[in-house]
Amino acid sequence: MQVDKDTLHDLSIFNSDESVSIFNYLNQTTTVGGKEMLRYLVQTPLDSIQKINDAQEVIKVLANTLHSWPTSITNGTIMVVAKYYETQFDPYPQHPTFFNSQWYKIFHAPDYALTKYTIAHCVDFLKGLFTVHGLLLAANQNPIIADWTTSIEKKLNKPALASLRLMDIKNATPQQILTIAGQIRTRHKQDFYDLIDLYSWVDAYQSMARVTVAQGLCFPNFTIAPTAYIEATNCYHPLLVTPTPYNITLKKDSNFLFLTGANMAGKSTFIKAVGISVYLAHLGMGVPATSMELTLFDGLLSNINVMDNIIKGESYFYNEVKRIKNTIEKINDGKNWLILIDELFKGTNVEDAMKCSTAVIEGLRKIKPSLFILSTHLYEIGAHLKQFPSIQFKYFETSVSDGELIFSYQLKEGISNDRLGYLILQKEGVVDLLKSL
pLDDT, residue 40, reads: 97
Tell me the HSE value of 342 on the side-chain side, using a 13 A CA sphere.
22
The DSSP string of 364-396 is: HTT-TTSEEEEE-S-TTHHHHHTT-TTEEEEEE
390 and 252 share a domain? yes
Cα(251)–Cα(267) distance, rounded to whole angstroms? 20
Tell me the helix, strand and coil percentages in the chain, rounded to 5: 50, 15, 35
70 and 185 share a domain? yes
Cα(71)–Cα(99) distance, rounded to whole angstroms? 37
* Residue 415 backbone dihedrals phi, psi, to 5 degrees: -125, 135
Which of 163, 191, 215 is where one domain is finished?
A: 215
* Structural domain harbouring 144: 31-215
Residue 24, burial from CB neighbour count under 10 angstroms (0-12, 13-18, 19+): middle
pLDDT, residue 194, reads: 97
99 and 80 share a domain? yes
pLDDT, residue 48, reads: 96
Cα(298)–Cα(320) distance, rounded to whole angstroms? 23
Cα(29)–Cα(35) distance, rounded to whole angstroms? 6
Give the total residue count for the chain: 437
128 and 142 share a domain? yes
Cα(101)–Cα(230) distance, rounded to whole angstroms? 68
Going by C-alpha positions, the residue among 410, 395, 391, 393 that lies closest to residue 234 is 410
Cα(257)–Cα(266) distance, rounded to whole angstroms? 15
What single letter denotes the amino acid at residue 269? T
131 and 187 share a domain? yes
The answer to whether residue 54 is domain-embedded is: yes
Ramachandran bin of 429, using left for φ above 0, alpha for ψ from -120 to 50, beta for the remaining angles: left
Q: Is 249 helix (H, G, I), strand (E, B) or coil?
A: strand
Tell me the HSE value of 239 on the side-chain side, using a 13 A CA sphere.
22
- Local confidence pLDDT in tens for the 437 residues of the chain: 999 999 999 999 998 888 889 999 999 999 999 999 999 999 999 999 999 999 999 999 999 999 999 999 999 999 999 999 999 999 999 999 999 999 999 999 999 999 999 999 999 999 999 999 999 999 999 999 999 999 999 999 999 999 999 999 999 999 999 999 999 999 999 999 999 999 999 999 999 999 999 999 999 999 998 889 999 999 999 999 999 999 999 998 999 999 998 877 889 999 999 999 999 999 999 999 999 999 999 999 999 876 655 545 557 778 888 889 999 999 988 899 999 999 888 777 888 889 989 999 999 998 888 999 999 988 889 999 999 999 999 999 887 777 677 888 889 999 987 766 666 667 677 777 777 87
pLDDT, residue 255, reads: 94
Please, where are the H alpha helices in 15-108?
Answer: 22-26, 32-42, 49-63, 75-84, 98-107
Domain count for the chain:
2
pLDDT, residue 404, reads: 72
Which of 215, 248, 275 is where one domain is finished?
A: 215
Please, where are the H alpha helices in 216-286?
Answer: 267-281
232 and 155 share a domain? no
The answer to whether residue 249 is domain-embedded is: yes
Q: Is 83 helix (H, G, I), strand (E, B) or coil?
A: helix
Going by C-alpha positions, the residue among 402, 376, 411, 372 that lies closest to residue 390 is 372
203 and 233 share a domain? no
Cα(412)–Cα(420) distance, rounded to whole angstroms? 18
142 and 269 share a domain? no
The answer to whether residue 114 is domain-embedded is: yes
273 and 343 share a domain? yes
Q: What are residue 399's DSSP bridge partners?
A: 406
The answer to whether residue 14 is domain-embedded is: no
